[in-house]
Amino acid sequence: MRLAMLRADPKLSRFDPLPRIISHDDFSRGHCGWSQLVGNYEDDLDTMLPGYAQHTSAMLSTLGHWDAGSHGGYDSSYALKIATRPKTGAQNVAIKRLTFRKRCPIRFEAYFTFKPEATELKLSETDVRSVGFLFDLQGGDSDGDAERVMPHLRFLNALDGEHVQKWQFKRETTTFKPIGATDKTLSHYHLAPDGWEDVPHGAQRLCYNEIPTKINWTYLRFDFDLASMQALSFQCNDRVFDMSGFDSIRIPAMKNLWCMLNFAFFAEADTNKRAFLYVDSVCVSGDF
C-alpha cells in the first residue's frame, strides 16, 4: 500500500525514500526552509570570516535565459537557485536547519543541475568549478560519544580551466577562530579549497548540454547512519560509488548544537562569471 501511494504521487515517485519522509522540498511551493548560510558574528558583521561574508541568499528561479525565456524546473516553473559572485573561486551556500529525534539511517535525495551565467555564445563547460552538498550533524546531549560530524561531497567539474569531472570528499576543516570578545562564539570555514580527496573510482561525466542555456536534471542519493555517524552509500544517476574510504570532518561536540541535522548545497566559480547551482526538489527520509 505504501509503495502504491508513493508511485501514485508524481512528485514523490521519482524518489526512493526510507519509511518516514522527514521533509519533501518542492521549490514550486517556495524556499521550503532553505536559506543563506550566514557566518557567526558578534557585535559587528565585520567579525564574520571572509568565506561566509561572500554568501548571498538563495533565490527561487524560473531558470531564465536570454535565447528562449525560461527553462523552468523538473515539472513546475521554479527551482532553487544558488548563485556565486562573478569571481574566480567565489562560493555560495544554501542551508536547511533541522534537528533529529532518533539516531537512525537517513537518505538524502535531490535533482540538481548547474551552469555558469550565459554571458558568452559558447559552451562554457569549464566555468563552474564545483557543486556539492554537505551535512552538519551533532549527537544529542545524552550521547556519551557525541561529536560534530560534517560529511562533504563535491563534484569537481573544472579547475583553472581544465575539465576534471570527479567526485571528492573532505575530512579536514580550517582552524577554529574566536569571534568577538566574550568567548561564546567560534567559527571555521569548512569549504576552504584545501583538503579535498578523491572518491575512489569517482570520475563521472555528467550531462552538460550543447549550448550554455540548456540544462538536464541529475539525480543524487546519499545514505548516512546517524547512529554510527558513517556514510552508507552514494549514487549519482546510474553510478553507485564505493564509500569504504570515505570519511567526514569530525570535531568535538559544541555546547549548543545538540541533535543538529543540517543540510546544505554549495556552488563555486572557476572564472570571473557567476556559477549557478539549481535544485529542483529534495527528499530527506529516515528509518524511524
pLDDT tens digits, one per residue of 222-271: 999 999 999 999 999 999 999 999 999 999 999 899 999 999 999 999 99
Residue 97: predicted pLDDT = 97
pLDDT tens digits, one per residue of 160-179: 999 999 999 999 998 888 88
Residue 175: predicted pLDDT = 86
End-to-end CA distance of the chain: 18
Cβ proximity of 63 and 77 under 8 Å:
no
Cα distance between residue 161 and residue 152, in whole Å: 23
Instruction: Give me the residue label for grid cell 570515505.
Output: 246
Residue 131: predicted pLDDT = 98
In a domain? residue 80: yes
In a domain? residue 284: no
Instruction: Give me the residue label for grid cell 515517485.
Output: 13
What would the DSSP string read from start to end of 74-101?
SSSS-EEEEE--SSTT-EEEEEEEEE-S
In a domain? residue 274: no
φ, ψ of residue 29 in degrees (nearest 5): -100, 0
pLDDT tens digits, one per residue of 186-198: 888 999 999 999 9
Instruction: Give me the residue label for grid cell 573561486.
Output: 89
129: pLDDT strictly greater than 80: yes
Considering only 21-25, 83-87, 154-158, 180-184, which range has the smallest mean pLDDT?
180-184
Residue 267: predicted pLDDT = 98
In a domain? residue 228: yes
Per the structure, how many domains does the chain have?
1
* Between residues 275 and 43, the one the model is more confident about: 275
Residue 63: predicted pLDDT = 96
Mean pLDDT of the chain: 93
In a domain? residue 1: no
In a domain? residue 17: no
When pLDDT is averaged across residues 141-168 and rounded to a whole number, the result is 95
In a domain? residue 101: yes
In a domain? residue 229: yes
Instruction: Give me the residue label for grid cell 572557476.
Output: 270
Residue 39: predicted pLDDT = 86
Cβ proximity of 162 and 126 under 8 Å:
yes
38: pLDDT strictly greater than 70: yes
Which domain, by its residues, includes 227? 24-269
